[in-house]
């Protein structure tokens, strides 16, 4: 069964960065070549999820390192093409060194032996009244005996420089809104752990925070629906184009964008193009 059209923090950020990238990723579903950074992040996330399956006393740095190989084997069984990222011994050695370094940084930020998460990698969904369905997968939720909720998200990269944390702040507010709508109470703390450099970003979400992000989600979805109705998702250039995997399909780089499939638009967005 196809997923109901909706908005996640990552897809909202995609649209803000470039509507054409959003279209190619969400509507056309163009396959993307695996990237080293995102694959490394997926591996580290899997290990940190599996770490909490162990008894508390066994949640040690050594145990986390031991979980790397089976997590990688599971990933490459599902996606054999990931092996191309570590096609020689030097690349493989550096890749796993980087993963072990991220795990080592994690243990400087938290002691998992003292934590019993209420949820790990849990999917949340909630539809706004007369608005989009909001969705997201949250890395970890901790609940205190008094019912207070703490939301934890792992980032395998470095903490953003001053003035460049807008996407992270949007994500924290978005998840605060989503958790509040699903669980009926606002999280007491949103916490991002940056495992490349040990940075931590926190937010105590307020009523104003969740109201602002709800308005932003509504505005973003309305803009997406407008593009869908018009059948046009224009490219938007920025410095981030250097890391885009869709340059060959982008007219700004001499590429040719495939014809838009109206059925795919309606399935992904819930709006049929009306333009001739």
Choose among 220, 244, 229, 253: nearest CA to 25: 244
Does the predicted TM-score (pTM) go above 0.85? yes
Spatial CB neighbours of 172, under 8 Å, sequence gap ≥ 6: 151, 153, 190, 192, 201, 203, 205
Contact 82, 46 (CB under 8 A): no
Task: Give, for all 276 residues of the chain, the pLDDT tens digit.
Answer: 456 889 999 999 999 999 999 999 999 999 999 999 999 999 999 999 999 999 999 999 999 999 999 999 999 999 999 999 999 999 999 999 999 999 999 999 999 999 999 999 999 999 999 889 999 999 999 999 999 999 999 999 999 887 677 899 999 999 999 999 999 999 999 999 999 999 999 999 999 999 999 999 999 999 999 999 999 999 999 998 998 999 999 999 999 999 999 999 999 999 989 855
Contact 211, 224 (CB under 8 A): no
**pLDDT computed for residue 2 by the predictor:** 56
Q: How large is the angle between the packed helices 89-109 and 36-51, nearest 10 degrees?
A: 50
Spatial CB neighbours of 83, under 8 Å, sequence gap ≥ 6: 76
Residue 160's alpha-carbon distances to 27, 192, 194, 230, 243, in angstroms, are 30, 11, 9, 35, 17
**pLDDT computed for residue 275 by the predictor:** 58
Select the CATH number that applies to the domain covering 1-276 from these four: 2.40.110.10, 3.50.50.60, 3.40.50.720, 3.90.320.10. Answer: 3.90.320.10
CA dist 158 and 98 (Å) reads 13
Contact 187, 179 (CB under 8 A): yes
Bridge partners, 166 (sequence order): none
Spatial CB neighbours of 143, under 8 Å, sequence gap ≥ 6: 118, 149, 150
| Three-state DSSP state, 245 | coil
**pLDDT computed for residue 173 by the predictor:** 97
| Three-state DSSP state, 191 | strand
CA dist 56 and 110 (Å) reads 13
Q: Which two tokens stand for residue 59?
A: 């949640």
CA dist 126 and 180 (Å) reads 10
Q: Which two tokens stand for residue 111?
A: 């002691």
């Amino acid at each position: 069964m196809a997923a109901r059209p909706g908005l996640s923090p990552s897809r909202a950020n995609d649209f803000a960065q470039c509507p054409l990238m959003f279209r190619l990723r969400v509507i056309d579903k163009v396959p993307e070549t695996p990237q080293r950074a995102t694959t490394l992040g997926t591996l580290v996330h899997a290990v940190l999820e599996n770490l909490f399956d162990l008894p508390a006393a066994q949640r040690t740095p050594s145990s986390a390192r031991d979980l790397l190989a089976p997590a990688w084997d599971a990933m490459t069984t599902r996606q054999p093409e990931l092996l191309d990222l570590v096609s020689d011994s030097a690349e493989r050695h550096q890749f796993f060194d980087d993963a072990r370094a991220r795990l080592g940084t994690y243990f400087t930020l938290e002691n998992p032996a003292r934590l019993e998460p209420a949820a790990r990698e849990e999917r949340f969904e909630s539809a706004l009244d007369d608005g989009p369905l909001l969705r997201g997968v949250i890395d970890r939720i901790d609940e205190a005996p008094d019912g207070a909720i703490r939301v934890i998200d792992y980032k395998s990269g470095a903490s953003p420089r001053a003035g460049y944390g807008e996407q992270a702040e949007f994500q924290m507010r978005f998840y605060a809104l989503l958790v509040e709508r699903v669980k009926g109470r606002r999280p007491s703390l949103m916490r991002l752990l940056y495992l490349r450099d040990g940075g931590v970003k926190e937010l105590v979400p307020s009523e104003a925070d969740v109201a602002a992000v709800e308005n932003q989600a509504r505005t973003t979805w309305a803009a997406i629906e407008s593009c869908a109705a018009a059948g046009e998702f224009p490219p938007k250039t920025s410095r981030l184009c250097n890391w885009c995997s869709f340059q060959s399909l982008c007219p700004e780089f001499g590429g040719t964008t495939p014809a838009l499939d109206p059925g795919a638009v309606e399935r992904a967005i819930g709006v049929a193009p009306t333009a001739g």
